[in-house]
Structure 1
Amino acid sequence: MAAQPKRNSERQSDSGILAKFTSSAIVSLGKQAANDAAFVSKKLLCSTGKAAWIAGTTFLILFVPLIIEMDREQQFNELELQQATLLGAPPTGPSHK
């Protein structure tokens, strides 16, 4: 059984209901709220990305060299302790500056 095409008057009433619905105040408020939420989300995402960039570059510039230097000093202290042990000196704890 094939679907019968709607009559002209039925099409007009359907488009009238749809037009009334899309132009209602609730729908326009919903669209405005969705646009506002998208705008805020975009701004938040951009500012979060900028903050992550600043934090990452600050970490690389300030803390990575510090970590490398602390590791180098620890290796140097272990080497001194090992040499002192080989030479027969009594082992001492790590020296503090």
Structure 2
Amino acid sequence: MASQSRRGGLSLPDRRGSSKQEPNIMDKIINSQIVSKGKQAASDTVSVAKKLLKSTGKAAWIAGTTFLILAVPLIIEMDREQQLNELELQQQSLLGAPPVGPAPPK
């Protein structure tokens, strides 16, 4: 049984009973007040960005649907009116009627 405990040929000191070690530089940096404030600021920034994106998306949806419901039919109707006016002008010119325009100055 004594040969089983020396398999690797190198024995490391037992850490169970050792006292606390001094924190290394990385532990000091990670646990510093500046880093914790930076993490908090980053977290706050992310939450504000999420809220902003959510509200921007809602506003874009409202603007888009409003445009489709109100502006598109108006644009279509204005186009029809323009085509009708052009057709009337074309018919008048074919029939020989004088073109309708502003009154000539006297």
CA drift of 1:16 comes to: 2.2
Which residue number in structure 1 is paired with residue 66 of structure 2? 58
User: Where do residues 1-97 of structure 1 align in structure 2 (5 Å cutoff)?
Assistant: 16-93=24-101
Higher relative CO (Cα under 8 Å, sequence separation at least 6) belongs to 1
CA drift of 1:81 comes to: 0.7
The structure whose Rg is larger is 2
Runs of 4 or more consecutive aligned structure 1 residues displaced over 2 Å after TM superposition: none
Q: Return 5+ residue gaps in structure 1 as ranges.
A: 1-11
How many residue pairs match? The answer is 83
Distance 1:36 1:75 in 2: 56
- Describe the superposition over 1:54-83 as per-residue Cα deviations: whole angstroms up to 9, x where unpaired: 101100100000000000000001101110
Give the alignment's TM-score, normalised by structure 2.
0.72
For 1:91, what is the secondary structure of its paired residue? coil
Which residue number in structure 1 is paired with residue 15 of structure 2? none
Q: Return 5+ residue gaps in structure 2 as ranges.
A: 1-20
Distance 1:17 1:69 in 2: 73
Distance 1:60 1:93 in 2: 35
Give the alignment's TM-score, normalised by structure 1.
0.78
Distance 2:72 2:101 in 1: 27
For 1:89, what is the secondary structure of its paired residue? coil
